[in-house]
Each structure stands twice: as structure tokens, then as C-alpha cells.
Structure 1
Amino acid sequence: MKKHLLILLSFVFAFCIKAQQDPQYNLYQFNQMVINPAYAGARDGISVVACVRNQWSGFKGAPKTSCLSVHGPILNKNVGVGLTVVTDAMGPRSMLGVYGNFAYILKLNNAWKLSLGLNAGYNRFQFNFQEITFKANETSAYFMQNQNYNALDINSGLYLRTNSFFVGLSASHLQNKELYNYALTGDTTGGKTGGGNLSYRLRTHTIFTIGKSFKINDNLIFAPTLLTQSVNGQGNGDLNLNFFINNKLWLGVFYKGQYGPGFLFQYYVNNKFRLAYCYDTGLKDARKLGPSHEVMLGFDFSGTKSKMLNPRFL
């Protein structure tokens, strides 16, 4: 059993390093700033959101993410600006990112708005190579200590919306920057030189989102959403089925492709404060990774009377 679990964890870690590098957010629909810079200013007032996610809590070194975002409209609500701070750790890699967000909001007519977004920021990565076990006894002093890398990062996005519909498209790490690429020089116990190399590149992630709300009655709204993500030739998707009840409570279930199901809720304590929680778990072999937990707190300071009555941004 331990052997199979080790193989599974090795596969998942390799997949995340080569493909799914960016943090995953199941509560993205309640704070789309974390996946699309064009969302800045879309809530019509100042919005502050803090989020913490522990992914695959069943093993040591699993991804842990925290995020703080602040954004709002300026210049007669024709421009959105914001700030996003992210920390993310997985295995021997940890990252701190700070981004400034800018979105230009085009009012196409009385119902439709199109936002063009861009964010630019600074990433600081730390790699603890001492936590990695090499096939050969690595002799290079480079891998005997922690290594730090700094990188500028640029992301872009589009966000089209009405009061009951949204569609978004975003791309991260537009430079596709390689942080390091080093040859392994270790010797095996038999005296042969170890081959291969160790590299890390910030690959461009493309995310597409779409959502629509349907009013069932005065106390119930049905709002399905879909997210697809593509990176390095690999794709995945999340399908959410959400219900907004009594202008107070969001309840939803979802399915993450190639992984498994989960549920979420968001509760409006009052017009300005909301809290959300999400739980997901894998199916079959992925269940061995353990469940994931995500918690979010949101503060909205808006000129409108109530954001609870307008579910357009979920």
C-alpha cells in the first residue's frame, strides 16, 4: 500500500510542477480577481477578500495557498484597480507574489459591460533542494542549499458581464519564463555519472469561465458555472451547480475533472460581510491524497443598498 501511495504522490507532484503550477481555487466564483485581472472593479464598490486553501491534506508537502485581494472602481466606474498578494507552497517550492491590477471597463449598452484587464507583479520563489531525493548521490553544492529566484510576472484577461451572465478569459505568466535549468552531476554507487536535468519554467495558464443565473422565484436563484483551464497541452474543467437562497445563502455542488466532487457555501452575515467554505475529495486512487479545505472571508463596501440582491458576480 505504501509503495502505491508513493507512486501516486510522485505522479501528482510531477503533474503539478510541469503542468498545474498556479494555485487552485474552488471558491473562485466568489472572488474572480484570483483568476482574472479584468474582474477588478466589477463589484461596483470596494471589495476585500482573504482566502486560505489546504489542498490534499492527507500527506506532507501538499499545496497550501493563502490570498488577499483588494479592488474597486474609480473614474466614474470606468476603470478598476486592485492589489493581490498570494503565498503558495508545495513540496520543496514556496512562492510569494504581489500584483497590481488594472481594468478598463467599457459600457457597451445599458446591460452589457466588457472589461479589459492586466496585472503585473513580482514573484519570489524559494526551492529547498535538500527535501528532494535524487536517484544518484548529487554532488553539486548547488543542490545542498536553498535557492531563491525573483521574477517579474504579467497576466491579462477579458471579462464580459450583465446582471445575470458572465464570461471570462485570462492568461497568466505571459513571458513563459524559465527560472532555472541545471544538469544533474551526481554519481551512483557504481561510479557512473547521473544524467538528466532539473528545471522550472513559469508556463502560461489559460482559464475560461462562464456563468448564468436563473430566477426560479423571489427566494431562489439557480446559477451554474463552468471553468476550464489549459496549460502545457493539458486541460481540465470544473462544473458548479449553485443555488442562492433567501438572498442570504449560496449552496453549491461541483465536480472537478480528473479528480472528484465537492460542495461549497457562502453566507452573507450582513450587506458588507460574507464568509464561504469549500470541501472536496478525490475518487478512486485520488482519494488517498486526502480532502481539500478552502475558507474565504469577504468585505464589500458599496454605494448600492445590497449586494445580496444582485447575484451576477456570485
Structure 2
Amino acid sequence: MKTKLPFLLMLLYLLVPHQNKAQQAPQYTQYIFNELIINPAYSGSKDILNINATYRTQWTGLEGAPTTQTLSVDGPARNARMGWGIHLINDMAGAQSQTGVYTNVATRVNLSRTAKLSFGIAGGVSQYVLDGTKLNAGDDIPDGAIPDERESQILPDAKVGVFFNTERFYTGLSAANLIPFRDDKTVITTPRRHYFLSSGYMFDLGPYVHLKPSFLIKHDFNGPANLDLNAFLLLYNRFWVGGSYRTSIPVFTDVNMDEIKKRNAWAILAQIYATPKFRIGYSYDVSLTKMSDYSSHEVSLGYSFFRKQNGRTITPRNL
């Protein structure tokens, strides 16, 4: 017998997105170590080949809760002013899922010896699926609003971004889900257009201790903007530890404080370089709402390939 999602989850993941003709983009916590997943202009910014994988399970223990897996590869091109990247994503939330692949290209301009400005674009395709066999519509849902079978569509997508960095400072602005899709004949929904603004700075607190505060604003202009405030310590250039506070702010929209509080959450994160090339990261998120009984977990793995340039070995920067 096939498992049916509870009626409440069906409303959360199907009806609300369908009314807006869009669903929310996947949530990440460890983007601070791999901004390629939110900004294509980040491609090749570390001047070495990087491989990153992430597995996230949100609201663990809640039936139909989101899970997300990503795999990304990026590095510099033979032309020193170009960077490239590939990003794969598999995101599932209840009866809905998205599986996509993107190819990134970035061009970089050297503004000074340490300052670079990059412009990037990503193009790809995603398969969106709504599995009606996992849903229990109940008696209050009109006939035909919920499909009886599995429906899927393959659709194009695009992203653009700009990224500026020095040895200590970075800031980036990007837009995702640029190709709109509307079809009243299907209940398939795609993420609405999202905009990302991020920035951070590295401070020296001593020869072996560094502080990196940063923030991320994510906005879709259909509600309050999501704001992440982050602070991390880097110890002996091998161990990261810190935390994030996630909330919402009214930008270009009018919302009351009760709506803002519904999005509050905090996270703690640790990452260790097991070897100079291989890193392991873990984050633990807890919502400060009624969902606080369901925590979220995210695990990341990264590997870097060092290279030599002008007789010296190029290693990853900490930004």
C-alpha cells in the first residue's frame, strides 16, 4: 500500500505554491563555503579546481519534509580571465521534486593586484515532478485539483550574477530562476525568481585566529526578504566554527512582526580540513517557531586540486 502524505503537508507543499504559481527555492546553510550554488559569477574565483557536495535534510522526522542534494565543480579556465562551473541539484519536498543541471561561465576583470570583479551566467534544465500518488486530497479539495498520477516537465532555466572580491572582502549579487513558466493546464510549479545579495570580510584576531562575519539577503519580492547573519572563527587555518541567525525583514513589502517571527531560526556550523585539500562540514539548524521540534541537518564535503603558477603553489583562499 502506498504511503499518503498527511493533509496538512499536502496543503503546505501543493496548494500554497500553486496559488502563487511558484514554489520556494531550496534552503542552504553552508553556502558560505561555496557560493557557486547561489551566484554563477563565483565560478573559478579561488583560482583552483574545487569539488563540493552537500546533503541537506530539513525538519528531520516530519513526513514529506524537504531534502536537497547538490554537487558542484568549478575552476579557472586556461584564459586567466575566465572561470567555469557545473552545478547539479536534486530537491524534494513532499510530492514535489526538482532535478537540474547548470553550466556556469564567468569572466573576471583585475581591478588591482588583489581586487577582482566577475560577471557570470548559468544556463541549464530542470525536471519538475509532482507525484499525485503520494497525496491524499481529502474531501475538501475540488476534483481535478490534485493529479491522480505522476506528472513531470523538463524546463529551461538561467541565472546571472556579479561577484567582487579582494583577499579579505567579498560581495555578490545574483538572480536565479530567470525564465518564467506559467501554464494553467498543469499543476506543476517552478520556483519564483529570487535575488541574492551577500557580503563578508575576514578580520585577523591573531596569528592563528581569524573572524569572518557575513550576511545574505534573499528576496523574491512577493513577501519579506530572508536575512542570514553569520559569524565564524577560523582556527589555525584548519577549523571553522560559528553560527547563523536567520530572520526576515520588510523590504519593498508591508508585513507585520508576527509574519517576520515565523521565519526566525538559528544554526551552528563546523568545518574541518582533514587534509590541506579535503574538508568536511556539518551544520545544525533549529527553527524558532512551532517547527522547533524538527531540526535540520546539512553535511558537506569538499576537495581542492592545487596547482602551480609562476613557481608557487596556488591554494584555496579562506573567503
TM-score interval, smaller chain: 0.7 to 0.9
Identity of aligned residues (%): 31
1:266 to 271, 290, 299: 271
2:228 to 232, 238, 250: 238
2:13–2:95: 8 Å Cα contact kept in structure 1? no
Number of aligned positions between the proteins: 291
2-structure distance, mates of 1:107, 1:206: 25
Q: Secondary structure at the match of 1:157?
A: strand
Superposition pairs of residues 194-213 of structure 1, within 5 angstroms:
198=187, 200-213=189-202
Whichever residue aligns with residue 206 of structure 2, its letter is N
Residue range with higher mean Cα deviation, 221-230 or 265-274: 265-274
Deviation at 1:271, TM superposition (A): 1.5
Cα distance change of structure 1 residues 142 and 245 upon mapping to structure 2, 3 Å threshold: closer
1-structure distance, mates of 2:12, 2:159: 28
Cα distance change of structure 1 residues 202 and 247 upon mapping to structure 2, 3 Å threshold: closer
Aligned match of 1:287: 292
Q: Secondary structure at the match of 1:109?
A: coil
Cα distance change of structure 1 residues 284 and 83 upon mapping to structure 2, 3 Å threshold: closer
2:174 to 166, 170, 175: 170
2-structure distance, mates of 1:47, 1:80: 12
For each residue in 1:224-279, what CA deviation from the matched residue of structure 2 results, as whole angstroms up to 9, or x when unmatched?
01001001422111111100001110001111112311100110112211110000
Aligned match of 1:103: 106
2:49 is the alignment partner of 1:60: no
Deviation at 1:74, TM superposition (A): 1.0
Aligned match of 2:258: none
1:25 to 17, 28, 35: 28
Q: Secondary structure at the match of 2:133?
A: helix
Cα distance change of structure 1 residues 259 and 15 upon mapping to structure 2, 3 Å threshold: farther
Aligned match of 1:41: 44
Q: Secondary structure at the match of 1:154?
A: strand
Cα distance change of structure 1 residues 163 and 145 upon mapping to structure 2, 3 Å threshold: same
2-structure distance, mates of 1:269, 1:307: 15
TM-score, normalised by the number of residues in structure 1: 0.85
Deviation at 1:104, TM superposition (A): 0.4
Whichever residue aligns with residue 173 of structure 1, its letter is N
2:88 to 77, 85, 110: 85
Aligned match of 2:74: 71
Deviation at 1:144, TM superposition (A): 1.3
2-structure distance, mates of 1:12, 1:93: 7
Aligned match of 2:157: 153
1:38–1:102: 8 Å Cα contact kept in structure 2? yes
Structure 2 residue runs of 5 or longer lacking an equivalent are: 1-5, 248-262
Deviation at 1:176, TM superposition (A): 2.0
Aligned match of 1:276: 281
1-structure distance, mates of 2:279, 2:35: 15
2-structure distance, mates of 1:232, 1:201: 16
Whichever residue aligns with residue 98 of structure 1, its letter is V
Q: Secondary structure at the match of 1:144?
A: coil
Deviation at 1:140, TM superposition (A): 4.0
Deviation at 1:157, TM superposition (A): 0.6
For each residue in 1:166-187, what CA deviation from the matched residue of structure 2 results, as whole angstroms up to 9, or x when unmatched?
0011101112222x4248xxxx
1:93–1:127: 8 Å Cα contact kept in structure 2? yes
2-structure distance, mates of 1:137, 1:285: 26
Q: RMSD in angstroms over aligned alpha carbons?
A: 2.4
2:207 is the alignment partner of 1:218: yes
